[in-house]
């Protein structure tokens, strides 16, 4: 794939508006905010499309178009302002990306985002990638999806094989952070859960005995060049990412190698442009290292890659900017071991449920603690309010500092490291 027309678009190049080149993002959440920061550091102007006047990215962007994601006037304004557009959440309407792509380069493209939006399509894509990679030794070797069944009709519900239970019923679309998921132990619970979910299209996945979870982030350019970060080891609590550990030895090297190869194959197969994250489960299959199961992909930078801002010479957001704008994609180098602790709204409440301000004084006094808050005014339980990156010269120190920070803030998840 060659550079689309209009690229390369270096900062300072006059755009249609007469100002420096502008990069746009669909969605104004924290991922958009960190994208805006990275783009602005390179001298780009930025435009965010998000209906929320208080959105984290809208607050810090040069332009904030406050319309719905399918609003024709809003999309036209974004296309006029920008030299290229990216997205920061997977539920942006694929049709909106198509409309933009008719006018300007959009990365990732609508087709890749559409796959990631729908668990049924996503699983077919993984399976198709595995089939294609079959001829390339090692490409997706040993990496499969969790056993699953599609449930769109009552007949499909009734035909669910018993070996998929206990399982997790997941809505095919619009799920995130464990939302739209119900754990079901038997057929009766499954039927009740599907009714509760208003019988929208779903996927039932077998509940797997997870040993651990990990993810891989790659960036692929318009020319097909790809770079990647080393796999991250992730700890989830209540279906939400709590901790990411990124350092040598965070997982068995053979598994890390397989997860990386599978992620590259998945990106390659869809002709992906931009930053892509693929999530994996590590399960116990009786072998020494365990086996890898591919869970889902995110067509954007990912929560498990936030450590790259402080621990790598090039962050996942830098690579997002580079990829969409047709700039070179340097292989990132991690210079410090790192642990990321997610800061959910829960931290803003004490054990009795009373509102409190977390003890930032104590946290910021820790050497190697990098606090990132997203500018969200209202703390709610389970809401991602910020994250804390811990870096240090060695793994023992990074773990000790992370434990201290977790103790100060009352954060869960570090026991798993
Ligand atoms: P996000 O978008 O935040 O990653 P999500 O809502 O899309 O989350 P999943 O990634 O599918 O949801 O699942 C969330 C978590 O639930 C997983 O990280 C894992 O801890 C657990 N989980 C999901 N599927 C299974 C499974 N089949 N077996 C065991 N645990 C699972
Ligand atoms: Mg997930």
Residue 216, φ and ψ in degrees, nearest 5: -130, 135
pLDDT of residue 137: 47
- How many angstroms does the Cα of residue 121 sit away from the middle of ligand 1? 17
- Is the distance from the beta carbon of residue 178 to the nearest atom of ligand 1 less than 6 Å? yes
- Is the distance from the beta carbon of residue 236 to the nearest atom of ligand 1 less than 6 Å? yes
pLDDT of residue 153: 96
Task: Report yes or no: 128 and 268 within 8 Å, Cβ to Cβ.
Answer: no
- How many angstroms does the Cα of residue 328 sit away from the middle of ligand 1? 34
Query: Which residues are within 5 Å of ligand 2 (an ion), measured at CB?
Result: 279
- How many angstroms does the Cα of residue 176 sit away from the middle of ligand 1? 9
Is 0.75 topped by the overall pTM? yes
pLDDT of residue 15: 54
pLDDT of residue 53: 97
Q: Measure the CA angle with vertex 220, ends 56 and 177; round to 5°.
A: 40
Protein residue with least CA distance to atom 2, ligand 1 = 176
- How many angstroms does the Cα of residue 178 sit away from the middle of ligand 1? 6
- How many angstroms does the Cα of residue 303 sit away from the middle of ligand 1? 14
Q: At which residue do the structure tokens 């699953």 appear?
A: 148
pLDDT of residue 7: 59
Q: Which atom of ligand 1 is nearest to the CA of 206?
A: 27
pLDDT of residue 323: 96
Ligand nearest the Cα of residue 122 is: 1
Protein residue with least CA distance to atom 9, ligand 1 = 178
Alpha carbons 276 and 320: distance in angstroms, whole number? 9
Domains, the chain, in order of start with CATH, read: 22-106 (3.40.50.20), 147-206 (3.30.1490.20), 210-416 (3.30.470.20)
pLDDT of residue 143: 79
What H or E segment, with its residue span, contains residue 371?
strand 369-373
Q: Which atom of ligand 1 is nearest to the CA of 240?
A: 3
Ligand nearest the Cα of residue 146 is: 1
- Structure token pair of residue 156: 């499909």
- The pLDDT averaged over each successive group of 10 residues in the chain (417 residues) is 59 56 96 97 94 98 97 97 94 93 95 94 86 58 84 96 96 84 96 95 95 97 97 95 97 94 93 97 90 95 98 98 94 98 97 95 98 97 97 98 98 95
- The pick from 30, 176, 181 for probing ligand 1's pocket by mutation, whose C-beta has the most ligand atoms within 8 angstroms, reads 181
Protein residue with least CA distance to atom 27, ligand 1 = 207
Task: Report yes or no: 207 and 166 within 8 Å, Cβ to Cβ.
Answer: yes
Q: Measure the CA angle with vertex 171, ends 281 and 133; round to 5°.
A: 45
- Is the distance from the beta carbon of residue 177 to the nearest atom of ligand 1 less than 6 Å? yes
Beta-strand (E) ranges in 29-122? Answer: 45-49, 63-65, 84-87
- Is the distance from the beta carbon of residue 339 to the nearest atom of ligand 1 less than 6 Å? no
pLDDT of residue 304: 98
Ligand nearest the Cα of residue 175 is: 1
Alpha carbons 182 and 194: distance in angstroms, whole number? 9
- Structure token pair of residue 114: 């559409």
Alpha carbons 27 and 335: distance in angstroms, whole number? 31
């Amino acid at each position: 794939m060659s550079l689309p027309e209009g690229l390369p678009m270096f900062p300072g190049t006059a755009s249609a508006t007469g100002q420096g080149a502008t990069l746009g993002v669909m969605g104004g959440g924290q991922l958009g905010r960190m994208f805006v920061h990275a783009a602005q550091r390179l001298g780009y102007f930025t435009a965010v499309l998000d209906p929320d006047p208080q959105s984290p990215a809208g607050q810090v962007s040069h332009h904030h178009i406050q319309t719905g994601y399918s609003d024709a006037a809003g999309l036209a304004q974004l296309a006029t302002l920008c030299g290229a557009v990216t997205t920061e959440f997977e539920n942006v309407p694929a049709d909106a990306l198509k409309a933009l792509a008719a006018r300007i380069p959009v990365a990732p493209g609508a087709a890749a985002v559409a796959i990631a939006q729908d668990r049924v399509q996503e699983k077919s894509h993984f399976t198709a990638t595995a089939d294609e990679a079959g001829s390339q030794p090692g490409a997706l070797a040993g990496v499969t999806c969790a056993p699953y069944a599609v449930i769109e009709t009552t007949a499909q519900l009734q035909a669910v094989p018993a070996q998929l239970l206990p399982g997790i019923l997941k809505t095919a679309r619009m799920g995130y952070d464990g939302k739209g998921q119900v754990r079901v132990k038997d057929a009766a619970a499954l039927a009740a859960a599907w009714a509760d979910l208003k019988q929208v299209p779903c996927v039932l996945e077998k509940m797997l005995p997870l040993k651990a979870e990990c993810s891989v982030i790659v960036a692929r350019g318009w020319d097909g060049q790809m770079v990647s970060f080393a796999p991250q080891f992730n700890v989830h609590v209540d279906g939400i990412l709590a901790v990411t550990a990124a350092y040598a030895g965070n997982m068995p090297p053979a598994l890390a190698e397989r997860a990386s190869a599978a992620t590259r194959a998945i990106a390659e197969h869809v002709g992906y442009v931009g930053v892509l994250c693929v999530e994996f489960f590590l399960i116990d299959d009786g072998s020494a290292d365990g086996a890898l199961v591919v869970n889902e992909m995110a067509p954007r930078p990912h929560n498990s890659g936030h450590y790259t801002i402080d621990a790598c010479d090039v962050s996942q957001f830098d690579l997002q900017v580079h990829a969409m704008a047709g700039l070179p994609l340097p292989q990132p180098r991690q210079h410090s071991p790192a642990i990321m602790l997610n800061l959910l709204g829960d931290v803003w409440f004490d054990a009795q449920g009373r509102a409190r301000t977390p003890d930032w004084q104590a946290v910021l006094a820790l050497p190697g603690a990098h606090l990132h808050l997203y500018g969200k005014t209202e703390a709610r339980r389970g809401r991602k309010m910020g994250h804390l990156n811990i870096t240090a010269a060695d793994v023992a120190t990074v773990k000790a500092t992370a434990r201290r920070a977790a103790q100060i803030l009352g954060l869960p998840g570090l026991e798993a490291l």
